Amino acid sequence: MHISEGVLSPPVLAAGWALTAGGLALGLRKTRTENLPRTALVSSALFLASLVHVPLGPSSIHLTLLGLAGIMLGWSSIPALFISLLLQGLLFQFGGLLSLGVNTAVMGSAALAGSLAFRALPERFTLPAAFAGGFAAVITGTVLVCAALFLSHGSLKATAALLFAANLPLALAEGVITLFITAFLLKMMPAYVSRQAQL
């Protein structure tokens, strides 16, 4: 889901930075001091997960854990993602610094979509809700990446369509992974996946 440097148009880059600035301000304001260790843990997991690429035909995909980030952190997932993406761009040239705003806005929106999907179902359906959160996050992120590519250059429509098709299996896999990690956290650290946690 990372968009590389030199792909996006200046208006799309500017819009991404504007959205990221607003998301960071709100995310930092909603991050409680006692939740900083959890936020750091999730940021580290996001950093590591997206470095493992899986070839899929002419493209490649990678785990995002965005749904899990949204479930565990809500709005705090945006600062966590920003730090993770910034380090990836600086250390591995994965993504980029100019596209950091768009990448953070896309992935932050995806994490929030996962959080909303998780909280939309009744509490007795916590595990199906976790699957829905993981699935919804990847689909949301993919749609937003495709939109950013298309708005930058109409000629990237075929690339956007290929990207969307390549991420459909990932959405299912992320749903299953999010379900199992949530089931584990419910037994070991239920406060980390509480439905009542502040977004």
Distances (CA, A) of 192 to 10, 42, 120, 141: 39, 11, 17, 23
Q: Which residues contact 12 (CB under 8 A, 6 or more apart)?
A: 102, 148, 151, 152
**Which tokens hold the place of 121?**
């179902």
Residues 80 and 176: their CA atoms lie apart, in Å, by: 22
List, for residues 156-194, the tens digit of each pLDDT value.
Answer: 677 777 778 888 888 999 999 999 999 999 999 888 887
Q: What is the mean pLDDT of the chain?
A: 86
Residues 60 and 74: their CA atoms lie apart, in Å, by: 28
| pLDDT confidence of residue 58 | 34
What is the SS3 assignment for 62?
A: strand
| pLDDT confidence of residue 78 | 95
- The domain at 10-193 falls in which architecture? Orthogonal Bundle (1.10)
Q: Which residues contact 102 (CB under 8 A, 6 or more apart)?
A: 3, 8, 12, 13, 15, 16, 17, 20, 148
Which element (helix H / strand E) includes 54?
A: strand 53-56
Distances (CA, A) of 78 to 157, 164, 189: 28, 23, 22
What average pLDDT does range 60-75 have in this prediction?
87
Q: Which residues contact 155 (CB under 8 A, 6 or more apart)?
A: none
**Res. 59: pLDDT tops 50:** no
Question: What band does 118 get if pLDDT is binned at 50, 70 and 90?
Answer: very high
What is the SS3 assignment for 191?
A: helix
**Res. 60: pLDDT tops 70:** no
Residues 2 and 88: their CA atoms lie apart, in Å, by: 10
Residues 184 and 142: their CA atoms lie apart, in Å, by: 27
Comparison of pLDDT for 163 and 140, the residue scoring more: 140
Which of 35, 58, 60 shows the shortest CA–CA distance to 50? 60
Question: What band does 61 get if pLDDT is binned at 50, 70 and 90?
Answer: low
Distances (CA, A) of 86 to 3, 127, 129, 154: 13, 32, 30, 28
| pLDDT confidence of residue 117 | 95
What's the pTM? 0.89
